Amino acid sequence: MITPTDYINTKDYTKLLWQFNNLNDILFDLTAKSLASRKLRYAEVDVEVERQAGHLAPDEIYVPQHIIDTNIRREQSSYIQFITQSPRAVILKDRVNPANDMSLLEGDLTEKLRFDSWQLSMYANIDGFQANGYGIMETVLEMANPGNISREYVQYGDFAFIADTRDLQKIEMMGRAYYFTKTKLKSLTEIEDEDERWDKDQVQKLLDSEPNDEQTNVYSGTTTINKSLYKVMKVMFKVKGIVQVAWICPRTADDYLRKPRPLFLGRRRINEKAAKFAPILAKTPPFMKSAAKAGIKKISPDVTDNHFDQMDKGLPPSDMVFETQYPYFLYPYLVSENDTIAALKGRVFLDQDTQNAATSLLSSTLSQARRASYLLFSKDTTDPNDDFLMQKNTNFKPGAIINGKLKEMKLDAPDPTMFTALQTLVSANQAETSQINFAETNRQADSRKTATAIKAATQQSQQLSGVQVTLYSIAIKNQYTYEVGIIKSRVLAGLIKVSPQLQQMYALDFTVKPSGDTDVIEKQQMIQQMQQAWPVVQNTGAAPIFLADLLEKMFPDSAQKYLAAIQQQQQQQNSAQQQSIQHAMGIAKQVGEATVNLSKHPDWFSETGKQHIYPVVEYAANQYEQLVEQMKQKQGGHK
């Protein structure tokens, strides 16, 4: 008999089956929720089907509003900027010597963390946690990438965990859904490596079933011809603190598709005992190495042939390290006092009522406006029985004679205040989504809108969006730290080749944080401070340098064009000023030379002039000659 605790620290399929089935049910529910959320986000409504079902009148207009999708896309720029604006992925700090320059190591890690197409999973994750309230990223082993790691986004409906989970690292078991074709499943049973090979009999049971048979009610209307994917689940759980990974398909296969094994993502640990013998083996002649290895094994039985092979290749002896932490990382959209992961809400939940209301309000208003344009007629009589042989559905045309008196009528047009109500509804939603600046901008017809209101709205928006980006920063820091630990271990084990200088830097004890903290958040704070200080600085000598720094921070891609235009204008102004100065200097020289010449002819002055004017001319001539002599001496000194 299986007790309620028999599943703990065991790999036995029978004892774990009830948990596997539970995860499978959770996946089914989450998939249904995910499909419903996507349908709501994109307002997927078949208008013709709705008309045939009687939900829409033949002349009724349906105009879906995509407020959920709009809000998601509007907020994405802050997150995208956080991860892409900086040329580096991480900021490092030496714990022992904080003043140590780590820029070289930061550049090397950036190349390893930003592998080909690294943005795709990050963008999908951002979109996912905005829509659903949280996103899940997984770090996986990928030998083709420079850092031997990769990361994948796990869709909302493909990651199962118990609903009351608060910390992914403390969960007992989790599952991720994958979708394989028959060709892929068959190839997994033919892998040469026995540890990697899937069980042929269990896979055959899966192939004998219908593709995605468990979810036929979710994918309603999908025929067997259009289904080719089989859903299997990768489960992870811990046995004595070590993460185990296995592949299953509950209710179809009755055992593991691939049996549990410790999770290995490439992490290595230097074997210090074996490393002590590396200098001895390096000095041992080739014909004596076998004897030396045999002697080492007697002294230290922990040293294996794998260690000897590594040392023969010039590598430090190292061992595989199995993971004690799940490689899944939670990215929350918002944080509240309720820290249960399943309770996290995204824009689909927060905006669905507003979107439905806006869609209904706009559709009904436009339908009413359309009906108000109809030209309607009724027979002008008060006789209730005067409908015998009445002509109905008559199309009026010019020149036709109507055999009766008709009364023209029209339906009332919609109240214009309906559009104001719609605008109020949308503006309130923009304010709720931390986009108060958009709400203010939309008030174009409001003469009371002031620059102060827009400025206050913009500042508030920056503060609120900063809180969300900070949550993203915390999550991505955890994943980067985890991945950098794997890369560091492989570099020190010689499995990832770097320069000797970088090898020494990888051996340091350093902290990791995403570059966006410094290059985005702190940068925006600096821009705000510089904008506030500009009125004080603009009339000082520091203005050109200050303005150049501000433009480079605000517009890194376009700043050089602006600075070049400013510099060109300054050069033109300086050139014009130089020409004016040169012209003035020429006039001054002519006046000075004329004054000197005049001072040499006192006879040209009258007796009165000699007493009053000539001394002034003589003094001015002396001053001019001294100035010319000083300038000649300076020019001679420069030569």
Looking at the predicted structure, is the pLDDT value of residue 526 above 50?
yes
DSSP 555: -
Tokens of 389: 């042989």
Of 29-43, 448-462, 511-525, 561-575, minimum mean pLDDT range:
448-462
pLDDT band at 127 (very low <50, low <70, confident <90, very high): very high
Contact (Cβ atoms closer than 8 angstroms) between residue 484 and residue 265: no
Looking at the predicted structure, is the pLDDT value of residue 464 above 50?
no
pLDDT tens by residue, 66-110: 999 999 998 888 888 888 888 889 989 999 998 888 989 999 999
pLDDT tens by residue, 614-635: 888 888 888 888 888 887 777 6
Contact (Cβ atoms closer than 8 angstroms) between residue 71 and residue 134: no
Whole-angstrom distance, CA of residue 489 vs CA of residue 267: 6
Element (H, E) at 244: strand 242-248
pLDDT band at 606 (very low <50, low <70, confident <90, very high): confident
Question: C-alpha dihedral over 506, 508, 514, 516, to 10 degrees?
Answer: -100
| Mean of per-residue pLDDT scores for the chain | 84
| Cα angle: 168, vertex 33, 471; to 5 degrees | 40
525 or 136: whose pLDDT is higher?
136
pLDDT tens by residue, 178-206: 999 999 999 999 999 988 999 999 999 99
Looking at the predicted structure, is the pLDDT value of residue 227 above 90?
no
β-strand partners of 236: 174, 245
CA 66 to chain centre: 21
579 or 133: whose pLDDT is higher?
133
Whole-angstrom distance, CA of residue 499 vs CA of residue 24: 48
Whole-angstrom distance, CA of residue 543 vs CA of residue 442: 35
β-strand partners of 312: none
Model pLDDT, residue 223: 52
Model pLDDT, residue 108: 96
Looking at the predicted structure, is the pLDDT value of residue 125 above 90?
yes
pLDDT tens by residue, 419-440: 888 888 887 777 766 543 333 3
Q: Which residues contact 197 (CB under 8 A, 6 or more apart)?
A: 188, 189, 190, 191, 258
Whole-angstrom distance, CA of residue 396 vs CA of residue 444: 44
Calculate Rg over the CA atoms of the chain.
40
**Ramachandran class of 421: left when φ > 0, alpha when ψ lies in -120 to 50, beta otherwise:** alpha
SS (H, E, C) 49-109: HHHHCCCCCCCCCCCCCCHHHHHHHHHHHHHHHHHHCCCCCEEEEECCCCCCCCHHHHHHH
Model pLDDT, residue 348: 94
Cα separation values, 123 from 72, 120, 128, 129, 153, Å: 12, 5, 9, 10, 9
Domains in the chain: boundaries: 272-320, 560-639
Model pLDDT, residue 384: 65
Whole-angstrom distance, CA of residue 580 vs CA of residue 395: 86
Looking at the predicted structure, is the pLDDT value of residue 573 above 80?
no
The average pLDDT across 347-354 equals: 92
- Write down the number of H helices and E strands in the chain: 22, 14
Contact (Cβ atoms closer than 8 angstroms) between residue 308 and residue 291: no
Model pLDDT, residue 21: 94
β-strand partners of 319: 269
Strands 328-332 and 318-320: unpaired
pLDDT tens by residue, 535-566: 888 888 888 888 888 887 777 667 778 878 88
Beta strands in 385-489 (DSSP E): 406-409
CA 411 to chain centre: 51
CA 9 to chain centre: 38
Q: Which residues contact 466 (CB under 8 A, 6 or more apart)?
A: 521, 524
pLDDT tens by residue, 485-520: 999 999 999 999 999 999 999 999 999 999 876 655
Contact (Cβ atoms closer than 8 angstroms) between residue 155 and residue 31: no
Model pLDDT, residue 219: 45
Whole-angstrom distance, CA of residue 265 vs CA of residue 583: 77
pLDDT band at 30 (very low <50, low <70, confident <90, very high): very high
490 or 469: whose pLDDT is higher?
490
Whole-angstrom distance, CA of residue 140 vs CA of residue 125: 15
Tell whether the torsion through CA atoms of 611, 613, 619 and 621 is positive or negative.
negative
Cα separation values, 84 from 88, 470, 550, Å: 9, 16, 20
Model pLDDT, residue 220: 45
Tell me phi and psi for residue 393, to 5 degrees: 55, 45
pLDDT tens by residue, 367-398: 888 888 887 777 777 766 666 556 666 677 77
Most confident of 41-45, 244-248, 354-358: 244-248
Model pLDDT, residue 101: 84
| Cα angle: 584, vertex 588, 591; to 5 degrees | 140
Model pLDDT, residue 221: 47
- Burial category of 321 from C-beta neighbours within 10 Å (exposed 0-12, middle 13-18, buried 19 and up): middle
Model pLDDT, residue 6: 84
